[in-house]
Structure 1
Amino acid sequence: MALQMIAPFLSSFLPNPRHGLVAHGLTRPKCVSKQISCSTTTPTYSTTVQRRSGNYKPSIWDYDFVQSLGSGYKVEAHGTRVEKLKEVVKHLLKETDSSLAQIELIDKLHRLGLRWLFENEIKQVLYTIS
């Protein structure tokens, strides 16, 4: 009762003792249920934004001209020189006495982007250092 005086809006949620099953010997009180439905709509915009053009000028190089360009470094002489230089670097990695010099060489190879050529040798050096 005191609760009903303090917060009258809560009285609808509290059970009323006068409607109890035991007090009147009745079966069940009538329950009224209300269904609540909720719906939302999202606005759709039918306007499309056109992409701005960069107004790029066409290339001055013709496709056939670009395809005709060749590299002088695909010659056999350059390929053999590359293989010789790879062997020199592998030898340097294995035969260097100080571990600091080996780590510096590994760092230089990594910075040059040549680490992938010497992955196995680098792994062997790092396993022996640690």
Structure 2
Amino acid sequence: MNEWLGALMVLLAALCRAVCSVLYRPYLARYPTLPIGAWAMLASVLFLAGLAGAEGFFAGLPHLGAPGWAAVVFIGGSSGIGYILWLWALKNTTPTRVTVFLSLSPITAALLGVWLLGEPFTPGVLLGLLGVVGGLWLATRGPSAG
């Protein structure tokens, strides 16, 4: 049951990202990317702080060592950079084109999993990666001449 719930959450996350890609576009046409990104991140932090507070997060500092805090800083920084780049891309091309390239995440995750975690690179993984690359090619190629 949890697997289905997880799959549903991933689907809802993709839907949320697609809706955001479309709804951000008019604001990015009128305003600079950085202020929009900063306001959106602030709204996200406030929303997530409320959820974290409800779980008791602010009762005390997390017990993380230096590697744990380094991971928090790395994830936060790289997420912020990725978010600003996503907004910049939305400002400069269509939401469809930008969102289609979010499918590069499985390729990156699979290759990093093999390289950093020693995960097996099976024929199924290769077939899946080829499917993603084929989908990107189909989605981004120009109109046919026929």
- TM-score band, normalised by shorter chain: under 0.3
TM-score by length of 2: 0.24
* Greater share of helix: 2
Give TM-score scaled by structure 1 length: 0.26
Larger Rg: 1
